[in-house]
A and B are shown apart, each in its own frame.
Chain A
Amino acid sequence: MDGGLAFPALVAARFLLALAPSPAVLKHDQLLSSPLTSFSRLQEGIFLFENGIDPYSGGSFRHSPLLLSLFSTVLPLTRLTASLLWTASDAIGAWALIHIWRSRQNVKSSPRDGLLAAFYLFNPYIFLPTLALSTSTFENTLYLLSLLFACQGRSSASLLTLALLVQLSLPSVLILFPVVLLLVSDCVSRLASPRPFAADIRKTLPLLAEFAAYSLLLTIASTLACGNWSWVEKTWGAPLLLPDLTPNPGLWWYFFTEMFDHFRPFFLMVFSVHLLIYVLPICIKFQHDMLYASFLLLGVFATFKAYPTLSDPGLFLSMTSLFPEIFPYLRHPIVTALLHLHASLLLPLFNHLWLTQGTGNANFFYASTLVFGMANGAALLDAVWAGLRIAVGELKDGYEVVQE
């Protein structure tokens, strides 16, 4: 396939798909958009904002004030502009993915470009949320852009996109650590030849300060845009306090629906800290390849974050195409693939049976989120195993790798 033509062709196909009439049921699908990313809630917030009512005074609008001011001033949201904008965001994401690959391989172009773009643009976990106009599409694009700029060593651009991303979704601040380390090192693949972290760790301090400055600036901008500080609790507080228990493919909602009231704060703390706890070990273990560490952390977030949608695991799965060297070493690829297939069939089916058909109950959907959690966990474990296993290299017959 010619890499030069494949990308425009794929993007064009996606635009056609976006303009084709999509069923309205997608917009309210709980798998594709969470309360933090739902398009209907974004429209409601913009409507209230334009009519002089503070959208953050209520509990349903939880988008960032940046999105609010963007869509209420610069870009009026209609069905058409929204479809085009969301698809363009995906196209930028695919473009970033291709360029991350190029800088990782240190080449100007590669025959894999078309494949990478296809793997991103036509991953159903990526394009279905885009058709549902979930703002998680923008989060994915910003993730990829931030990683791309970090790979290219453009620290300001990378930190600014990351600061923007943190405005949209607070848990992504955890990716800051590997991104900063990636900025002071490089993104060339060293999975097969691990070595201690080469660069000077003290060089990260000015980068962290720069990130803090951008974040502060954007926070002030958000506060000015909405007029008060109430947005902080509504947007950033939501993933920590879980005020909205709308079902999603993650593990939090049913756990906290069924949680005893006096244990709720404790378990909220445990679940939030649990996300945090992966950052350092993964960064230390994969200090030779920070891009891989960021990739693994995205897998952790996709499994364990508070309000995931399908596009979070979608990003993780699409990013596996950046690391073809690990494919021979995946531990149980068939099992993982079947688990994902199983979950992707069960999730919409049981959601429909419970909420629309009324013939199933909440446990059906909960069970399918457990399967989905298993599938994401298995994919994560495969990636961790393969990333470490690759360093051992090819084995002679009769030998096998185990852990001590």
Chain B
Amino acid sequence: MHLVYLVLILCFNLSRILALESREQFDEELTLRPLRDGKLGARFLFTTLLKGATPRRPEALLTMTIHYTLFPLALGQVLREYAVTELHLTLNAGNWNYGQWGYPDEPGVGTGAELWAWMGDGAPITIDERWQGLRNALAGLFCASLGSLDEQRTTSPSLTFQPEGSLPDWTTAHQLRHATLPSEHVCTENLTPFLKLLPCKSLSGIARLLNPHKLFDADWHGLGVHVRYREGAGVEVRLAFQAVFDPVRYSHDKRRDWSLHSVFDRSIDKACPVARSSKVRVGLPKDRYMISPDPSVIDDRFATYLVGAAGEALDVAMQWPEEPAFQYLLASGAEPLTDISVRRTLKGSSQSQAQMALVITNNLPVQVQASYLETMPWLLQFYLHTLRAYVDGVSRDDLVSIISYSPPVPHSRPTLLQAILTLPPNNTLQLTMDVTKTFLRYTEHPPDAQRGWDLPPAVIIPFSFGELLSQNHSMPAAAGPALETRPRRIYTPVMLVDLATPDFSMPYNVIIMSCTLIALIFGSVFNLLTRKFVVVLVDEPASKVSPIESATCG
């Protein structure tokens, strides 16, 4: 009887585990794209879908126990604890070169750390408290200084950072929190916890290629964690690692030939057994090339390999046999790969005043409308009344319309500026604005204060294209496949601002000297006010003091 009972329980549990397992699915994909400046773009994407799950309602109690087999538990706990509906965390190093590399496969390429989350309202704990808990939890999870993304960095630019998934239809509204930390760097200590979130770690599958020695040697590298809720499907976690390698730099004879082994120093020896699909996609260049081994599927843009299909280690290699050495394109001759190009600079040598200039070139023959977002820490304060727009040197202030602006509060809140820019076809819009640099307390300066402060990137999203587009205008070629339908964010490079520094060795000296001066004047004034005036005879040596007249009234 007992035995039967035991077997029944065992069967029941087994079936539950199997059911749970089928509730979760894991896909992985590596996309490699040879870029036109000889570089190689790589994007690792690990997608885990928790079928049928919904984000926790903020007001609901944390009662149900959770059991995940593939879904990263550490991340899942954080999401449930703080009732996060959608989450995006990116840690990047380097400037994404939109002109040469086109749009990235993963849109979040702003330098440094960027964290944004959509959270439902209505919980007993406010959104801002949960936001604080979330960034501290993620800081612990990813070993990054995300705890510094405090209220001095947090804004809510909901126009620019629309949810990528869907928001559950709750009675209470969702709110956005967004913060960037451009001085944050990404390195091995962030990659290790990232790998721990994968079901196969870096032991098998395409994650085998995530070799820190090679990844952090790349010209550009960044990791991203994206959680979104897909209506009808479930909660999806996308873990992405993106890097731009330079095979020309690695090769001895200035050739751009590459193979997985030359780039990552590894090959994919076995597939991840729990992955539903595991693919390597290679973007095919326009000129003559050779690719080996033979791909499983090939179309005019991509060659696709299924990992583990051949049963042996996969080492994809691409060669340009007719090219003795890679010839770099001249920057002037290269056609830009994005709809618009953006450059942002800070002008002026003074440490108290400066002028910020934004130069946006519309590369399309149609008028483009773009949203423009600045989330500036209070270190730099805008004089919005000096915002001017020029096209060809002619003032065109009508092309800028400010949607929302919240001025900064020293020591507590950053500036948020959202504007809509109208970009004339094939032309350049120049924006200038006077800014003032603030003076900080000596304790607020970071170590190595003379280096200056990194300012977060501006984000431009071209969202509305003029009429010509429908008449079969060809979009720029390198358009990424991932988010082709949605408006694509363009991050400007970060700016460096040098703020005036006090002398850090001086606190005691300043306190002593200022107080001495004040005490000197105070003492002298009260000395004059309180002591009586007397007249003395000074000619006769050692004479007696003769108070002839005492002329005071106090």
Contacts and interface: CB of A to CB of B under 8 A. Distances in A.
A361 B503 CA distance: 7
Contacts of B378: 59
Given A358-B349, A363-B506, A377-B520, A257 B383 contact: no
Contacts of A47: 384-385
Contacts of A399: 535-538, 548
Among A44, A363, A370, find the residue whose CB has the most chain B CB atoms closer than 10 A.
A44
Given A58-B409, A388-B533, A398-B538, A355 B352 contact: yes
Contact of B553 (A288, A393, A401): A288
A58 B417 CA distance: 13
Contact of A304 (B409, B518, B538, B539): B518
B310 interface: no
Contacts of A393: 549, 551
A75 interface: no
B517 to A, nearest CB: 5
Contacts of A391: 533, 551-553
B384 A400 contact: no
Nearest to A385: B528
Contacts of B384: 44, 47-48
A244 interface: yes
B533 A392 contact: yes
A258 B350 contact: no
Interface in A360-396: 361-363, 366, 370, 373-374, 377, 380-381, 384-385, 388-389, 391-393, 395
Contacts of B411: 243
A399 B548 CA distance: 10
Contacts of A254: 502, 510, 514
Nearest to B409: A59
Contacts of B463: none
A245 interface: yes
B534 A403 contact: yes
A356 B552 contact: no
Contact of A258 (B511, B518, B524, B537): B511
Nearest to A27: B353
Among A257, A287, A388, A393, find the residue whose CB has the most chain B CB atoms closer than 10 A.
A257
A78 interface: no
B289 interface: no
A58 B408 contact: yes
A281 interface: yes
Contact of B406 (A58, A384, A392): A58
A363 B534 contact: no
A80 B366 CA distance: 41
A196 interface: yes
Contacts of B436: 28, 40, 60
Contacts of B351: 354-356, 358
Nearest to A304: B518
B521 interface: yes
Given A59-B408, A259-B507, A401 B517 contact: no
Nearest to A356: B350
B500 interface: yes
B532 interface: yes
B469 interface: no
B51 to A, nearest CB: 45
Interface string A240-282: 0001111100010111111111000000000000100110011
A302 to B, nearest CB: 12
Given A243-B410, A245-B439, A247-B439, A401 B507 contact: no
B288 interface: no
B517 A373 contact: yes
Contact of B441 (A30, A256, A370): A256
A209 interface: no
A401 B350 CA distance: 52
A173 interface: no
A255 B432 CA distance: 35
B330 interface: no
Given A60-B381, A245-B440, A362-B501, A255 B514 contact: yes
23 contacts: A51-B405, A58-B381, A59-B409, A61-B407, A251-B514, A255-B511, A255-B514, A257-B510, A258-B503, A281-B526, A284-B554, A285-B553, A354-B351, A355-B351, A356-B351, A366-B510, A389-B533, A398-B537, A398-B539, A400-B538, A401-B533, A403-B531, A404-B534
Interface of A: 28, 30, 40, 43-44, 46-48, 51, 53, 55, 57-61, 194-196, 243-247, 251, 253-261, 274, 277-278, 281-282, 284-285, 287-288, 300, 303-304, 354-356, 358, 361-363, 366, 370, 373-374, 377, 380-381, 384-385, 388-389, 391-393, 395, 397-404
Given A288-B553, A356-B349, 4 more contacts: A245-B439, A258-B510, A355-B500, A377-B524
